[in-house]
Amino acid sequence: MTTKRIIGKILVTDRFYQEFGCLVSCISCQYDKQMPVGLPFSQALIMEAQVIDEIQVIYIGDFKRRYWSEFLAICSHISSSTNTPLTIGGSIDSYSISCQLFESGADKIVIGRSFCEGQDWVKKIISTFGRQSLVYSCDYKRIDGTIALRTTHGQWMACSSLDKHIKQVLDAEICGEIILNQTSLDGSKSYVEERIIPSTLHMATPVIIGCGLSDHMLISNLLTKGFDGVTLGTYLVKSDQSIQQIKARLLNSGHSIRMY
């Protein structure tokens, strides 16, 4: 059986460009509050050295993509210098942008809400690159007591049932993996609203959970419930444990974890 995956998330921002003269990685809450933490390439190398299972690089710069070519160069550099699966995402809204990311070293790309809107370009990606190369990122948060899904270009739309939404995506067989991102949290507060965890776990398509995970017990519980892996960003930066130590604790808790 497959091992549970620990996926390192690197958020790349242009918000500090004036200060540092380059794109930097950051930790963030709801993509708004950001704090620079280093260079994406260096972070990727450290993650690989600590036997991370996958690396996810997400561009959270402005939608005008002022520094897009620099971002693509960073992705190429990471891809050509590491041997760890690389997933890239952030404001993907066309076939040509998707192709740019694959050509810059993405093994998989992450697409958000536009994925579910029946866009022809998404179908074209599947027919060209295969279903396994697409990851659907379901970004959600609670607004005034109601679950809302992030739509194209950062808008939020009420969702009556996250469970139903995930089932629809799974039934459509249009992605190789789903990531549930609880965007109102980050790794500094560990909490996942368990009642909205979909009943679709243990289904045929892998489901990963991210955001708001900074506690061993919580991560362990989520893996026990059937998630195939977790994405960790802020936690990896703030924790005094290495990735190997985090994995060793999960292994000791009875999870199937790859240690080398």
Partner 1 sequence: MDIYIPSLGYGNIIRLSSFFSNYGVVSILTEPPILRTKADKAIIILPGVGSFAKVIEFYKKSGWESFILDSFQSRGIHIIGICLGMHLLGLGSTEGGLSEGMGILDGKVVALSTIASNSYPIDTNMGWHKLIEHKPVYANEFCKGDSYYFCHSYGYQMLDQSTVLSSVDLGYLIPSVIETYNITGLQFHPELSQMSGKNLISSLIKKKFNS
Task: Give contact residues for partner 1 (rule: CB under 8 A).
Answer: 1-3, 5, 48, 51, 53, 76, 79-81, 83-86, 99, 102-108, 126-133, 173, 176-177, 203-206, 228-229, 258, 260
Spatial separation of the C-alpha atoms in residues 126 and 258, rounded to whole Å: 29
Q: Give min distance, CB of 180 to partner 1, in A.
A: 15
- Cβ-based nearer residue to partner 1, 79 or 234: 79
- Cβ-based nearer residue to partner 1, 43 or 234: 43
Beta strand 24-29 pairing with 5-13:
antiparallel
- Cβ-based nearer residue to partner 1, 84 or 91: 84
Q: Give min distance, CB of 193 to partner 1, in A.
A: 25
Q: Which residue has the tokens 């290495």?
A: 242
Q: Give min distance, CB of 258 to partner 1, in A.
A: 5
| Torsion sign (Cα): 79, 44, 219, 59 | negative
Q: Give min distance, CB of 130 to partner 1, in A.
A: 5
- Cβ-based nearer residue to partner 1, 13 or 136: 136
Q: Is 2 exposed, middle or buried (0-12, 13-18, 19+ CB in 10 A)?
A: exposed
Q: Give min distance, CB of 29 to partner 1, in A.
A: 28
Q: Give min distance, CB of 85 to partner 1, in A.
A: 5
- Cβ-based nearer residue to partner 1, 18 or 80: 80
- Cβ-based nearer residue to partner 1, 100 or 184: 100
